[in-house]
Amino acid sequence: MSEANITDKRDLSDGGPSEEAPSRVSSPPRKKKQKTNGAVGVLSHPAEINEKYVEKSFKDCMRAVFQDGVEATHIGTCIGTEAAVITNPFTCCVLPNFVKDERFLKGLKEELLELDFNNKSNDLYKFQQSDALQNFTSLYITALKKLLYEDFLSWLREVTGIPFINTFDLTCSKYNYTDVLLCHDDELEGRRVAFILYLVPTWAKKDGGLLDLFDMDEHGQPKSVVKSLVPNWNNFVFFEVTPKSFHQVSEVLNQDKCRLSVSGWFHGPTVPRPAPYIEPRCTLTPHVDTQETLFYEWINESYLDFGNQSEVQDTFSDESEIQLSRFFEKEKYEAVLTQLQNSDIRWKSRGPANKRHYKSAELTSLPPVIQECLSVMQSEHMFLLLSNFTALRLHAQAPCSDDDDDDDDEDEIEEVQEKTEEGLDDEDGEKVNGTRCKSASEESESKPEARIVDHDDGDEREGVTKERGEQSDKVQDGDVHEQGTSRKDETDLQDGVVIKMKREASTPRCRAEVRKWTHGCYTLLHDTDTEGSEFALDASVFFNTHGVSQATGGFVSYIAKGEDEELLSVLPEENSLSLVYRDKETLKFVKHINHSYRTSRGSNGNPQNSHCAFYELYLVYYE
């Protein structure tokens, strides 16, 4: 991208996440004392383009590439420059030693570093950015604007043939350790050419911060990085913004260097783009047949207690989310953790990069104990248990009303509870309180903790979703939920009492995935997300989470559609079942896992360390 003019609001445009251009009329920034390097208002070192780039022979070569489609990989040799044009995966031009006098650049850098920078962080990026430079009138910034939007823009019109207009965007960006800008295509109405001018110290590939260019798959989605450009002092890079221009700024890995750049877009008439690619919907299945004994062997029996289930449901009904610690029996959890690191598991990379990047296990390659665990999580008993935890109708025998205080509902819940409280016979063929007896030490070790997950501000807030009873207000007569969930009949409100709503028969379903999260993994928001089009219950159990924190990334963030503020953040915890109920207006992403995760695990020196990963059993349930 041009790495410029990013605001916290996301524009989830067709074909992937790209950033919304900022307002081009904004309040002037706070004035600061500026250096003049000579007489007031006069530059001792003028801002001029390298004369070799304005020679006719060079411009003719460039014109042949941009207008005639001539293949070229190194066009500067004929006139003694190091300029290069990359045509695969898309046309991108690199002009080394772009500004004639480097003393101007040094003065510009000093002036830029005096500016205030804003922290920018969301699903797509993390870095610092100045306010729009078009609003500044300091000496070097003013000279840079003239260089770019008069001198170079005239050159660019001649070379590309694009009828640019006088609208422009320009900002300064700082990328420090762990900062990143993930895969996107830059497309937004009016953007025609993106550019970057690098003001970096001596830089190497190992420092990160590369401009990575992606090729595309058969669906027009980014496939893999096929070219990486190392930032260099006084290098000017530009490319035409098209549906093919997928790129990213890779994570900065050097703790002692700052990747400073000035970047923006030249604007012109909007070019039509193809219709967005819509991914196939994930396959959903009803509960699977599982032996009843397996369920009781796996689940911490404290969660089978009716009183505990009622407490969980009370909390979940208020907050629409909860974390249940020590969810699996300890021996089972440790067995799964051990086998998740089995080298026989085939991990497949999940993309495309403008939507997600992580590893997903091929289910047929999973060891038996993990397959057994998945069977338990998709069993009829689990659907019923989750119904009791959440009051969602995930089982035919689950209560059909959202009014948990109703006496009839209490009777119905107790009737259903009898099925989940049935225990296994002990060695003498007897049952004790419906569950297997445990020693005092076992009881202490397995006692669960149910709590709501942390919120950033620590204040009371509305739940992740609207009240579940309000869902029926959005359903019109004759509408049917796509995922097999039938509508609720409309009810009357009489004397302040809500009459219970009855549902038509539905088939609760789910999908399951085993995911591996390592340095560099993430998911992004996008408006073609088919999974987010339905009300759903997200359920995750995490393994090997040592070292994961808010600073390292890897947490799950929930936000309301069209809003900037985070509703909820779920930090992975060992053997903890995270439940979050989301509506159609709630979006989620997994924050990019940065390099500090490796150092927190003590694995920085061994990139192949298989233990530098955490794992997730991820399931989504639909009523």
Q: Say if residue 158's pLDDT is above 90.
A: yes
- Over range 459-480, report the average pLDDT: 38
Predicted confidence band of residue 560 (pLDDT cuts 50, 70, 90): very high
For the stretch 272-329, pLDDT in tens is 889 999 999 999 999 999 999 999 999 999 999 999 999 999 999 999 999 999 999 9
What's the pLDDT at 151? 96
In whole angstroms, give the CA distance from residue 286 to residue 371: 17
Least confident of 302-306, 456-460, 556-560, 572-576: 456-460
Predicted confidence band of residue 399 (pLDDT cuts 50, 70, 90): low
More confident position, 531 or 468: 531
Q: Say if residue 88's pLDDT is above 70.
A: yes
To the question of domain 51-267 being in CATH 3.40.50.300, the answer is no
In whole angstroms, give the CA distance from residue 430 to residue 423: 10
What's the pLDDT at 604? 54
Which residues are 587's β-sheet partners? 559
Predicted confidence band of residue 335 (pLDDT cuts 50, 70, 90): very high
- Over range 380-402, report the average pLDDT: 86
Predicted confidence band of residue 489 (pLDDT cuts 50, 70, 90): very low
- Over range 465-485, report the average pLDDT: 36
Predicted confidence band of residue 435 (pLDDT cuts 50, 70, 90): very low
What's the pLDDT at 79? 54
Q: Say if residue 455's pLDDT is above 70.
A: no
In whole angstroms, give the CA distance from residue 520 to residue 214: 16
Give backbone dihedrals phi and psi of 296, rounded to 5 degrees, phi first: -75, -25
Helix (H) / strand (E) containing 595: none
Task: Please report the DSSP string for 487-551 in residue order.
Answer: PBPP--EETTEEPPPPB-----EEEEEEEEE-TT-EE---TT-SGGGS-EEEEEEEES-TT-BTT
What's the pLDDT at 197? 99
* Interacting residues of 223 by C-beta distance below 8 A, sequence separation 6+: 214, 215, 216, 217, 351, 352, 353
Structure tokens at 104: 């101007």
In whole angstroms, give the CA distance from residue 285 to residue 279: 18
**What is residue 237's three-state secondary structure?**
strand
- Average of per-residue pLDDT values in the chain: 81
For the stretch 13-66, pLDDT in tens is 333 333 333 333 333 344 444 433 333 467 778 899 999 999 998 999 899 888
What's the pLDDT at 16? 36
Least confident of 107-111, 368-372, 462-466: 462-466
Least confident of 35-39, 173-177, 316-320, 591-595: 35-39
CA-nearest of 157, 194, 145, 167 to 18 is: 194
Predicted confidence band of residue 246 (pLDDT cuts 50, 70, 90): very high
Which residues of the chain are in CATH 2.60.120.620 domains? 51-267, 285-395+506-622
More confident position, 602 or 595: 595
Sign of CA dihedral 9, 14, 16, 22: negative
In the block, residue with structure tokens 């999973």: 366
What's the pLDDT at 74? 53
Angle at 392 between CA 391 and CA 394, to 5 degrees: 125
CA-nearest of 548, 431, 589, 525 to 9 is: 525
CATH homologous superfamily for the domain 285-395+506-622: q2cbj1_9rhob like domain (2.60.120.620)
108 and 197 Cβ atoms separated by less than 8 Å = no
* Interacting residues of 270 by C-beta distance below 8 A, sequence separation 6+: 189, 190
Integer angstrom CA distances of residue 370 from 32, 303, 340: 61, 21, 8
Give the highest mean pLDDT range of 380-384, 468-472, 608-612.
380-384
Share of the chain above pLDDT 90, in %: 64
Share of the chain above pLDDT 70, in %: 73
Predicted confidence band of residue 73 (pLDDT cuts 50, 70, 90): low
